[in-house]
C-alpha cells in the first residue's frame, strides 16, 4: 500500500511493476494510524491467522538505493521465501511485542494534526493547512510518514535539500532493522 496524495502519484510505479498482488493507495494514512508506521518502506509479516508475526522492518526489494541506506535486498528476499515455504523467521508474540515501536500521546496528536492539515488542503485552504503540517512535524519529529510524506503536499521536494536536511537529523529506526541481517558491511 502507498502513502500518497492520489492514485496518479504512484500509478506509473505500480503499472510498471504490474504486481499480481493487490496494490492499494492510502491517501488518509489509515495504515500509518492503525499500525503506527513511521517511514517507508515498512514491511510487516502477517500469518495465516491474521497475527503480526514479524513487526515493522525497513527493507528493500532491489539494490537501487543500497549506497544510501546500506541494505541488500537478496538476504531479505531469501528470508521471505523461507517464511513462505516453511514459516521460518516468524516470531513469537512476546518478541513481536518487544520489537514494536509504541505510539504515544504526542504521536497520536501529530497524526490528528496531519489529518486536519490534509483535510484543509483538500478544501483549498492551504495557509491553514500549513499551520497544522508544521504542528504535526513538531509533535512527531521522527515520523517520516508525516515529515517527508507531507513534503509533496506542501510544495517541497521529498528528494531535495529539505529531505537531506531531514536525513541529517537521522532517520527513524525500527528495532527489527538491527536484527534482520541485510547490512552490506
134 binds another protein per the rule CB under 8 A? no
- What mask, x for binding another protein by CB under 8 A, covers residues 155 to 184? ---xx-------------------------
Shortest Cβ distance from residue 9 to another protein (Å)? 5
CB of 180 closer than 8 Å to CB of 57: yes
Say which residues have a Cβ less than 8 Å from residue 56's Cβ, sequence separation at least 6: 35, 36, 37, 38, 42, 43, 44, 100, 101, 174, 176
116 forms part of the interface with another protein (CB under 8 A): yes
Q: CB of 175: closest distance to another protein in angstroms?
A: 14
- 34/165 with CB nearer another protein: 34
Alpha-carbon distance of 165 to 134, in angstroms, equals: 16
- Does the protein bind another protein through residue 78 (CB under 8 A)? no
Which of 13, 62, 167, 181: binder of another protein (CB under 8 A)? Answer: 13
The one segment of 65-73, 89-97, 170-178 that binds another protein by CB under 8 A: 89-97
Determine the Cα–Cα distance for residues 162 and 122; give it in Å rounded to an integer.
Answer: 23
Distance (Å) of CA 32 to CA 3, 17, 47, 50, 123: 8, 23, 20, 18, 22
- Which three three-digit cell numbers place residue 130? 500549513
Residue with cell 509533496: 152
Distance, CA of 111 to CA of 92 (rounded, Å): 29
Q: x/- binding map, residues 26-55, to another protein, per CB under 8 A? A: xxx-xxxxxxxx--xxxxxxxxxxxxx---
Least distance to another protein from the beta carbon of 66, Å?
Answer: 17
Q: Does 25 bind another protein (CB under 8 A)?
A: yes
Half-sphere exposure of 93 (CA within 13 A, CB side): 3
Q: Is residue 120 within the footprint of another protein (CB under 8 A)?
A: yes
Report in angstroms how near the CB of residue 183 gets to another protein at its nearest: 20
For position 124 contacting another protein by CB under 8 A, the verdict is no
Amino acid at each position: 500500500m502507498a502513502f500518497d496524495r492520489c492514485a496518479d502519484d504512484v500509478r506509473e510505479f505500480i503499472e510498471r511493476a504490474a504486481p499480481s498482488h493487490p496494490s492499494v493507495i492510502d491517501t488518509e494514512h489509515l495504515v500509518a494510524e492503525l499500525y503506527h508506521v513511521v517511514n517507508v518502506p515498512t514491511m510487516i509479516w502477517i500469518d495465516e491467522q491474521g497475527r503480526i508475526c514479524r513487526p515493522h522492518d525497513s527493507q528493500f526489494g532491489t539494490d537501487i538505493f543500497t549506497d544510501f541506506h546500506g541494505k541488500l535486498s537478496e538476504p531479505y528476499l531469501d528470508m521471505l521465501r523461507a517464511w513462505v515455504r516453511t514459516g521460518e523467521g516468524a516470531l513469537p508474540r512476546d518478541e513481536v511485542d518487544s520489537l514494536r515501536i509504541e505510539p504515544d500521546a504526542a504521536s497520536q496528536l501529530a497524526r490528528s494534526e496531519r489529518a486536519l492539515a490534509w483535510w484543509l488542503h483538500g478544501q483549498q485552504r492551504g495557509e491553514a493547512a500549513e499551520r497544522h503540517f508544521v504542528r504535526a512535524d513538531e509533535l512527531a519529529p521522527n515520523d517520516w510518514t508525516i515529515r517527508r510524506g507531507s513534503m509533496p503536499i506542501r510544495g517541497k521536494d521529498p528528494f531535495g535539500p529539505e529531505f537531506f536536511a531531514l536525513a541529517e537529523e537521522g532517520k527513524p529506526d525500527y528495532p527489527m532493522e538491527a536484527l534482520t541481517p541485510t547490512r552490506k558491511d
